Amino acid sequence: MTEHVRDAARTLNNAMDSVNLINQINEGDFSYFLPGYTQEVVNRRVQENVQHLEIILAYEEVVEDETDKTPYTTAITTGKAYIQENS
């Protein structure tokens, strides 16, 4: 395995945190947040994670990697829809 492939795999693996957070919030699991959070705070966190995934998917090493990107692109779509529905 080349360094380039290892870097892409590591980057995508780390990005799963954003995928998981977006999906948890979309499913109504707000355990990530401290008591007293507002919808504005939730939306901001979702937006930050959507942007993070968009940046990751633009990395050359990730673009060239053959890993299935569906979980990441689906989370981006889910996150954007969540923000739209909760703004």
pTM strictly above 0.85: yes
3-state secondary structure the chain: CCHHHHHHHHHHHHHHHHHHHHHHHHCCCCCCCCCCCCHHHHHHHHHHHHHHHHHHHHCHHHHHCCCCCHHHHHHHHHHHHHHHHCC
Please, is 87 exposed, middle or buried when counting C-beta atoms within 10 Å of its C-beta (0-12, 13-18, 19+)?
A: exposed
Domain boundaries, the chain: 3-85
| pLDDT tens per residue across span 31-87 | 999 999 999 999 999 999 999 999 999 998 899 999 999 999 999 999 999 999 999
